[in-house]
Amino acid sequence: MIVMKFGGSSVANAERIKHVASIITAYADKKPVVVLSAMGDTTDHLLEAADWAVEGDVDIKKIEDLHLATAKTLGIDDTVVRELLGELKTLLTGISMLRELTKRTRDYLVSFGERLSVRMMAQYLKKEGLGARFYDAWDIGFVSDSRFMSAELLEEVWDNIPEALNDYKYGVQKEIPIVTGFIAKDKNGYITTLGRGGSDLSATMIGAAMGADEVQTWKDVDGILTADPRIVKEARTVPVVTYEEASELAYFGAQVLHPRSMIPCKKTGTMVRVKNSYNIDFPGSIIIDEHKEKPSLVRSISTVKNVTLIDIISTRMLGASGFMAHIFTIFLKWDISIDVIATSEVSISLTVNSDEDLTGLLEDLQGVAQTHLEPNKAIVALICDADHSSKIIAEGFEALAKADINPDIISQGASQVNISMVCDLESVNEVVQILHKTYFGNKAGDELQ
């Protein structure tokens, strides 16, 4: 048994759905459980429709047009699609009358995207002669807490999922399950979502709970790459990364997988494979517990571009104890997450996402420290074997020194797989290009371990 997950862009239109259907067909003998996201940008369009409804307008034209046109091109009966679109319109009308949108209602609303796509895919596969059956995640036991918009799955899903899918695994049920990613229900029966990009977690959860041979997440690039190919055209596939490295990559901006999605597979050791839907025979990247062969020093370089650097300098006595505790309490109070950090006895340099509203935080900090803000910064993260940090830093920084680039912060996480630096947004692409050339040689076709 395997799990195959296809994200929004893989099912963005009828052509792509047909293509995905052909991939599922090619893997039919491996007993796939298929997990789908909403078509294309449907989740964004649903959120947009919600905002309009709060303003009093009910408009689902984009969503309606896309799904009805797709159903038509696929030649499938659109009754179920129309039913769901009708329910969606009723919900939006309710919101437009109340002029109010709770997180709970928002989750109910965005769930329509995934619910539409699994119904269409199952129907299309059936039309093509492949037995398939759609499931809303709760039909196979996805229960979560009630933290709407970023719900956590409950322990019992480990038992619920096999209970629902063992008949398929052991051949009693023949139809291929097509399951909604991203959504669940809480104990009260309210629909929840697992956070943006959460379909990855749905897929790895099913794979881990079912003891699948592997969980495949299908993208339109050749797996996990050494760098963003839009920045480095010589970027290559990284054949093997560990769960830990994959999580760090996800946190540091690489659009590979949802950061939390490694957790279930890490527990069971279930292999995750990142594959290219336009290059089906290519093995892609695998994500496993440990490297079996000695890997390259640096696995991948990723960037986070929307970053503000804050320098915080204590106005108190040198070395006063409790300084850090005080500062972090203020960050906690304003719920602002810190990404990269470097400290000395009396000062802290750290980065936060530039979208954060820092007004309250800065006011509170004024009492204990001088602060200095620098927007337009970027993080460059080296996912690497930090046991060899000296070598990695020496090589990389020699190259950066030649270009007269001097990072603001350098930080090595306790995870041992990440060395991060902060530099000007303006020079970040150049930094990545220089580092890529240093660590990977920029020769296309080189074998990478």
Where does this chain bind Mg ion (CB under 5 A)?
8, 37, 43
* Interacting partner of 412 out of Mg ion, ligand ASP, none (Cβ under 5 to 8 A depending on kind): none
Task: Provide the CB-side half-sphere exposure for 244 (13 A, CA).
Answer: 13
409 binds, among Mg ion, ligand ASP, none (CB under 5 to 8 A by kind): none
Out of 32, 40, 177, 198, which residue is the one contacting ligand ASP (CB under 6 A)? 198
Residue 40 binding: pick among ligand ASP, Mg ion, none (C-beta 5-8 Å cut-off by kind): none
How much is the CA Rg of the chain, to the nearest whole Å? 24
Q: Which of 123, 180, 192, 199 binds ligand ASP (CB under 6 A)?
A: 199
| Residue in 3, 6, 7, 178 binding ligand ASP, rule: CB under 6 A | 7
Residue 415 to residue 385: CA distance in whole angstroms: 10
Which of ligand ASP, Mg ion, none is residue 198 near (CB under 5 to 8 Å by kind)? ligand ASP
Confirm or reject binding of residue 88 to ligand ASP (CB under 6 A): no
Q: Closest separation between CB of residue 93 and ligand ASP, Å?
A: 23
Shortest reach from residue 259's CB to ligand ASP, in Å = 12
The one-letter amino acid code at 171 reads G
Task: Please give the residue whose beta carbon sits closest to Mg ion in the complex.
Answer: 8
Nearer CB in complex with Mg ion: 197/407: 197
Contact 1, 169 (CB under 8 A): yes
Minimal distance, residue 193 CB to ligand ASP, in Å: 8
Q: Is residue 197 involved in binding ligand ASP (CB under 6 A)? A: yes
Position 8 contacts ligand ASP (CB under 6 A): yes
Tell me the CA distances in angstroms from 233 to 51, 395, 433, 442, one per residue in order.
39, 21, 9, 9
**Residues 6+ away with beta carbon under 8 Å from 358:** 308, 310, 334, 336, 352, 373
113/177 with CB nearer Mg ion = 113
Buried-exposed string 46-59: b where 16+ CB fall within 10 A, e elsewhere: bbebbeebeeeebe
Q: How far apart are CA 364 and CA 382, in angstroms?
A: 33
Characterize 172-208 residue by residue with b for buried, 16 or more Cβ atoms within 10 angstroms of its Cβ, and e for exposed. eeeebbbbbbbbbbbeeebbbbbbebbbbbbbbbbbb
User: Does 81 sit near ligand ASP (CB under 6 A)?
Assistant: no
Round to whole Å and give the CA distance between 247 and 352: 19
Contact positions toward ligand ASP, by CB under 6 A?
7-8, 37-38, 43, 113, 181-182, 196-199
